[in-house]
Amino acid sequence: MQKINALDPATTTGKSKDLFKAIQGKLGMVPNMMRTMGNSPAVLNGYLSFSGALASSSVGAKLGELIALTVANANICDYCNAAHTFIGEKLVGIDATTLELAKEGRSDDAKTQSALTFAKTLVTKKGKVSDADINAVKNAGYDDAAIAEIIAHVALNIFTNYFNNTANTTVDFPKTRLATAA
């Protein structure tokens, strides 16, 4: 059972109502995670702002979704695993094999593999990465801006993972398996 209530967009008022209208207009729905975040307009607006800023990052939507899957599986977040599998496939056009590999922090592409390894390292080391960890991602071709964006994608996804795991947000995307190797 969900531990923090998901608001009904039809009966919500104030700033959250305005945010819900914008989400509905963009997505055609208001996902349960955002309906739950709407209990605090500051939290929902912060999430939307951070997510919106990263949408224009140089690492791109595909890598952003693969990072989201790696982090969701590392943090055992059913909601984010389902959401990013759906978004990755239906909105970004990522094939099923690539999505499944990302759940384990793996990729057939060496540069992407480096980014996913770095993302997973950030999670497991709680950001206390070594010079070797940074050098590995730099040697794969990521510059300082891209590394900052990878860190930001990891941070945003840790936030949503912790939020959904704490709230026990009802999954409103097609459920999919969590990786056992994450």
Amino acid at 162: Y
CATH code for residues 60-167:
1.20.1290.10
Query: How high is the pLDDT of residue 181?
Result: 54
Say if residues 173 and 86 touch (Cβ distance below 8 Å): yes
Complete DSSP assignment for 75-90: TT-HHHHHHHHHIIII
Q: How far apart are CA 116 and CA 88, in angstroms?
A: 15
Domain ranges of the chain: 14-54, 60-167
Q: What is the mean pLDDT of each run of 10 residues along the chain (182 residues)?
A: 97 98 95 98 98 96 98 98 97 97 98 98 98 98 98 98 98 92 52
Please calculate the CA angle 110-101-133 and round it to the nearest 5 degrees: 45
Query: How high is the pLDDT of residue 180?
Result: 72
